[in-house]
């Protein structure tokens, strides 16, 4: 069987595969960069996610700095309510409830945005906040033995959540390990959200503010 193309009539490989749907995320990204109707919006979204990545460094460098303080304001209320929600389920869960709910509430709202409202950007931002909440929690966990952090409402060190949690489970000597694992998880979540957000800025193009509900 002979080809119908010969010599200079042979089309380029780009022309041959131009109409073939991209089969991998990288191929879709490359195609989207060429066909995006308003690339300025994609670059602006990428700048937002770059800022969020920078906030990781700020949070890790100084947990009580700008990022840490903002995250604390957004999460402390849910932390305290979490104790009340989990109070009926025993002492251990009561102490755990604060940390659980300061993270879980953002995960749940993000899931509702993603699955219920079919949004993309807002759930990723909420999950990034959950990651930052884990970074705040890591500081608290790592303080379990020292109990040097000031507590709300003038409570003394015997009310330190993670001192109680790790004492009840005979794991107090490993507060540093739990803090490290929590910190790694938090950073991983934020980085994943930033990468996903940057990717979606191109493959689900926004042509104007509010033009695409995501």
Asked if the model's pLDDT at residue 29 lies above 50, the reply is yes
Reading phi first (left if > 0) and then psi (alpha if -120 to 50, else beta), residue 160 is in beta
Give the length of the chain: 214
pTM, rounded to two decimals: 0.83
Q: Give residue 23's pLDDT.
A: 67
CA distance 139 to 149: 9
Residues 130-138, mean pLDDT to the nearest whole number: 98
For residue range 105-117, what is the model confidence (pLDDT) as tens digits? 999 999 999 999 9
């Amino acid at each position: 069987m002979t080809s119908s193309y010969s010599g200079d009539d042979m089309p380029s490989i780009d022309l041959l595969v131009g109409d073939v749907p991209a089969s991998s995320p990288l191929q879709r990204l490359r195609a989207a960069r060429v066909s995006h109707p308003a690339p300025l919006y994609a670059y602006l979204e990428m700048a937002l996610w770059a800022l969020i990545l920078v906030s990781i460094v700020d949070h890790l460098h100084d947990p009580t700095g700008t990022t840490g303080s903002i995250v604390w304001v957004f999460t402390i209320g849910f932390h305290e309510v979490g104790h009340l929600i989990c109070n009926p389920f025993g002492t251990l869960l009561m102490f755990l409830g604060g940390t659980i709910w300061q993270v879980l509430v953002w995960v749940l709202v993000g899931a509702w945005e993603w699955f219920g409202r079919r949004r993309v950007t807002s759930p990723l931002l909420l999950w990034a906040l959950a990651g930052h909440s884990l970074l705040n929690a890591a500081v608290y966990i790592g303080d379990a033995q020292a109990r040097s952090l000031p507590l709300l409402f003038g409570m003394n060190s015997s009310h330190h959540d993670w001192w109680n949690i790790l004492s009840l489970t005979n794991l107090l000597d490993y507060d540093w390990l739990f803090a490290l694992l929590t910190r790694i998880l938090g950073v991983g979540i934020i980085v994943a959200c930033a990468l996903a957000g940057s990717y979606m800025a191109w493959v689900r193009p926004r042509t104007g503010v509010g033009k695409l509900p995501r």
